[in-house]
Structures are given as C-alpha cells and as structure tokens.
C-alpha cells in the first residue's frame, strides 16, 4: 500500500472509534491510559505519514488500541 492508502486506513480507524464512542467524553475517560495511548498513536500515524514512514505495523497497533478504547467505552460511562 502507498502512503495515501495507509492514511485512509488510519482515517477509517479513527472514524470507527469516533462513531462508536462519540466526541463528548468525560475527563476521566480521556485521561485513561488506553485512550491516551490511542490518541498518541493517532498523532504518530499522522507524523509518520508526513515523513512517508507510515507502515502496516503502526496501523496494526492503532487498530489494537482502537479496539481497546471501544471496549472500555462500552464497559464504562464516558459522557
């Protein structure tokens, strides 16, 4: 996959998380280690794309944390 296709994967992951958990999250949820790791990986993916270094490994990690964020959201009240 080229960089634009990989970035499209990142965008799809982020959209899936946003559509599932919404945008009005409480401070406690946003402060959780899982959510912080997810947002950090989102930033890493964007920077990697800008440097033409985005790869499948980073996308796999982002997908794993997206799944963890969604699971945590479904388990807790986050609004």
Mean pLDDT by 10 residues, the chain (79 residues): 94 96 86 96 97 97 97 76
What 3-state DSSP class applies to 29?
helix
Q: What is the pLDDT at residue 79?
A: 55
Q: What is the pLDDT at residue 78?
A: 56
Q: What is the pLDDT at residue 65?
A: 98
Q: Tokens for 77? A: 């009240």
Q: Is the pTM of this model over 0.85?
A: yes
Measured between alpha carbons, how far is 33 from 72 in angstroms, rounded to an integer? Answer: 11
Measured between alpha carbons, how far is 49 from 63 in angstroms, rounded to an integer? Answer: 16
């Amino acid at each position: 996959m080229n960089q634009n296709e990989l970035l499209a994967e990142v965008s799809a992951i982020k959209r899936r998380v946003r559509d599932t958990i919404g945008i009005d999250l409480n401070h406690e949820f946003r402060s959780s280690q899982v959510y912080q790791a997810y947002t950090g990986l989102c930033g890493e993916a964007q920077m990697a794309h800008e440097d033409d270094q985005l790869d499948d490994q980073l996308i796999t990690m982002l997908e794993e944390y997206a799944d963890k964020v969604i699971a945590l959201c479904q388990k807790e009240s986050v609004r």
